[in-house]
Structure 1
Amino acid sequence: MALSKKRIVVKVGTSTLTNENGDINIREMDLLCRALSGMENLGYDLILVSSGAIAVGANKMRLAQKPKELRMKQAAASVGQLELMHLYDKLFGEYNRMVGQILLSNEDVQIPERRENLTNTLEALLENHIIPIVNENDSISHTEIESDQKLFSDNDKLSAIVAVFANASKLVILSDIEGFYDSNPHENPGAKLISRVEEIDDNLMRNAGGSGSNRGTGGMITKLEAAKLATSHGIDVLIVNGQKPELLYDIADKKVVGTLFVGKN
């Protein structure tokens, strides 16, 4: 099936949605919802893959730190997902946009019948101009948190999988830095931004570091893995600064922003 040129999957991570104290960053969420609403108004189909449930839940439960025990992680995810969707519904509503929640587990993607149902649900939401908000079903499925059998690894990988089965033309990963650099910009002030990548090879993978934030689970390596999966299906992948969601308009206008990983035809 051909890729939909006006369908974009946007992934936002915990480090963008929360501040250093673990509180929800309302300003950043509002900017994101406004930009996505504006893009939808321009005729784009938007799918949002959102992290943050465990971090937000842990903060609301007044836990001293992010939980390590599985049952506490699942409890935090249950509380946090409710809080996230409440805010998304409220903020998107300010821009006259409706949202729908989709929580995924391995089986939803791996079992053909459930995968077909998932695809049909996504299409129905998009046809009715409703923005799907996708997350892993952390409160139920332990495999999505810490099992060796987990499919998604984290929401970077999940966003690539969603982009593939939704036939999106672009995957935009919002990061805590401007894009992909030739070395870690947090450690090397002279690191240079790479604006375009044609091939994700072993050398590029070695340049990727670990987790970029203690509030999230992913780092640049998971973003490269997601980009490798999506580009192999012809999908362009962009890593851009999550604090500047208005860059989505520049992406639509084909301007050079962040790092573009070119989809393979």
Structure 2
Amino acid sequence: MAGFPVGSARAWLSDTDVVPERMPLSNAKRVVVKVGTAVVSNSDGTLALSRLGALVEQLRGLKDQGRQVILVSSGAVGLGRLRLGLAKDVVANPANVIDRQACAAAGQGILMSTYDMLFQRLGLTCAQVLITQGDFLSRQRYSYLTDTLDRLTSLGVIPIINENDVVTGCHELDTQRVFSDNDKLSALLAAGSDADGLALLTDVEAVFTKPPDQEGAERIKVYNSLTAVEIGEKSSMGRGGMASKIGAARVAALGGVHTVVASGYDLDNIAKVFAGADVGTLFPASARPNKRQRWLTFATVSEGKIRVKAAAKDRLISSSAAQALLANDLVNIYGDFPDRAVVTVEDQDGVEFARGMVQMSADNMRKEVQVRRDERTRRGEWSGRAKWRREKGNGREKEGEHGGQGEGGRKEERRQVVAGEKGGRRRGKDQG
């Protein structure tokens, strides 16, 4: 079987070959490896057994180093298409979603049985985990998922994850999706499962300044928010392309995961990536948000928007502690969402800067805002009458003395409309 000798992933790499900024990858305790359809399959749709064998050997090498390994693998739809005798263009057509689902059902078993056989030969156990959008949208199911991954990896098992395409609708037409392909899925899992490193293996060597077959294309060694990339066409074998990989890598990096986009055709690349070698394109990790912040920011779909005053934005951004939003902080509410929904928080210019979970529905929130506005109007009228009385009575009456409590004679009730819980308080520049 091709690949490096089991248990010697860094044997060929001297310390002087390790790139300093990639040292966190060589020290990563939990790693996620994502392989796409173009990596696991040949151009004719059959399994690329030599690459799969090398992949499994390298994952065994990572395990022998004491690391926990999670594998995200595409390929089921392509294998099922071949087994069912359907044409490529039939499955690629978004209108033929039922055919795609049928192919996924036929191909997933083939894919998993192959992995199971290869891992068993090396004395390893793998476990199938099929995921849907709802597993991210529901906080409880999201917690169940990450807890299960924690338990499997602690038992020495390698979870093999794929989207459950059998019960998934049309990706191209469904706009309310947390992830649209396995690139984004692997990024969300890496961030949500507290992984230290993510390798996105594809059919090109790295991210280039332009499509690598064009003259003047240069490999980008380290990606940052100012990096300019000219994107070419996506692969015909899977849903993702380079734009998808870049987007996923940025999400993972913002979630605190060091990420590398590299070629899956180089049979030693997994070992090289997690030895800290200068391969592919590195997306350095940002400071890791807490688990709730990661869920709110990356793993949810916003069900509406609220626009807030400048003072409220300043308070949210400047405070290191979680902050609640009150009715008086709001300028407008957009959408029809229930209580406990996740919403986008915008400034007065309509620019998103946070996400939060609301404590009341959109209808009740609008009513609460209107109540506060009516109270302010009444206070303004009362204040004008009090001022006139003071002037007429030579100042013997004091503004508010008839009210008992506060400016308008009524203590204002401070009801939260957005929970002051930690998480999703701020969004980074790279998130858009």
TM-score, structure 1 length as denominator?
0.92
Equivalent position of 1:208 in the other structure = 231
Pick from 74, 85, 92 the counterpart of residue 112 of structure 2: 85
Pick from 203, 210, 234 the counterpart of residue 256 of structure 2: 234
Equivalent position of 2:52 in the other structure = 29
Are the counterparts in 1 of residues 208 and 219 from structure 2 also a CA contact under 8 Å?
yes
Q: Which has the larger radius of gyration?
A: 2
Equivalent position of 2:30 in the other structure = 7
- Whole-Å separation in 2 of the counterparts to 1:74 and 1:61: 12
Does 1:123 pair with 2:123?
no
- Whole-Å separation in 2 of the counterparts to 1:146 and 1:138: 15
Are the counterparts in 1 of residues 137 and 178 from structure 2 also a CA contact under 8 Å?
no
- Whole-Å separation in 2 of the counterparts to 1:252 and 1:185: 24
State the SS of the aligned residue for 2:28.
Answer: strand
- Whole-Å separation in 2 of the counterparts to 1:124 and 1:145: 34
Shift in Å at residue 136 of structure 1? Answer: 0.5
The amino acid of 1:47's aligned partner reads: I
Are the counterparts in 2 of residues 16 and 28 from structure 1 also a CA contact under 8 Å?
yes
Does 1:218 pair with 2:244?
no
- Whole-Å separation in 2 of the counterparts to 1:200 and 1:170: 19
- Whole-Å separation in 1 of the counterparts to 2:173 and 2:59: 31
Structure 1 residue runs of 5 or longer lacking an equivalent are: none
Shift in Å at residue 210 of structure 1? Answer: 3.0
State the SS of the aligned residue for 1:239.
Answer: strand
Equivalent position of 2:197 in the other structure = 170
Does 1:194 pair with 2:216?
no
- Whole-Å separation in 2 of the counterparts to 1:29 and 1:190: 32
What is the aligned residue count? 257
| RMSD over equivalenced CA pairs, Å | 1.6
The amino acid of 2:126's aligned partner reads: V
The amino acid of 1:216's aligned partner reads: G
Does 1:102 pair with 2:129?
yes
> 1:194 and 1:229, CA in 2 relative to 1: closer, same or farther beyond 3 A?
same
TM superposition outliers: structure 1 runs of 4+ over 4 Å: 143-146
For 1:35-54, what aligned pairs fall within 5 Å after superposition? Answer: 35-54=58-77
State the SS of the aligned residue for 1:181.
Answer: coil
- Whole-Å separation in 1 of the counterparts to 2:132 and 2:57: 29
Shift in Å at residue 237 of structure 1? Answer: 0.8
Pick from 250, 254, 261 the counterpart of residue 276 of structure 2: 254
Equivalent position of 2:80 in the other structure = 57
Are the counterparts in 2 of residues 179 and 259 from structure 1 also a CA contact under 8 Å?
yes
- Whole-Å separation in 2 of the counterparts to 1:223 and 1:64: 26
Q: Which range moved further: 160-169 or 251-260?
A: 251-260
Q: What percent of counterpart residues are identical?
A: 34
Q: Which has the higher strand share?
A: 1
Are the counterparts in 2 of residues 200 and 224 from structure 1 also a CA contact under 8 Å?
no
Structure 1 residues 194-218: Cα deviation after superposition (integer angstroms, max 9, x where no partner): 1112x234x53x522331x211111
Structure 1 residues 87-106: Cα deviation after superposition (integer angstroms, max 9, x where no partner): 00011111111100111111
> 1:6 and 1:83, CA in 2 relative to 1: closer, same or farther beyond 3 A?
same
Shift in Å at residue 30 of structure 1? Answer: 1.0
Q: Which has the higher contact order (CA 8 A, sep 6+)?
A: 1
State the SS of the aligned residue for 2:196.
Answer: strand
Structure 1 residues 33-56: Cα deviation after superposition (integer angstroms, max 9, x where no partner): 111111111111111111111111
State the SS of the aligned residue for 2:204.
Answer: coil
- Whole-Å separation in 2 of the counterparts to 1:77 and 1:208: 28
- Whole-Å separation in 2 of the counterparts to 1:108 and 1:125: 17
> 1:23 and 1:254, CA in 2 relative to 1: closer, same or farther beyond 3 A?
same
Shift in Å at residue 120 of structure 1? Answer: 1.3
TM-score, structure 2 length as denominator?
0.57
- Whole-Å separation in 2 of the counterparts to 1:167 and 1:262: 15
Structure 2 residue runs of 5 or longer lacking an equivalent are: 1-26, 288-432
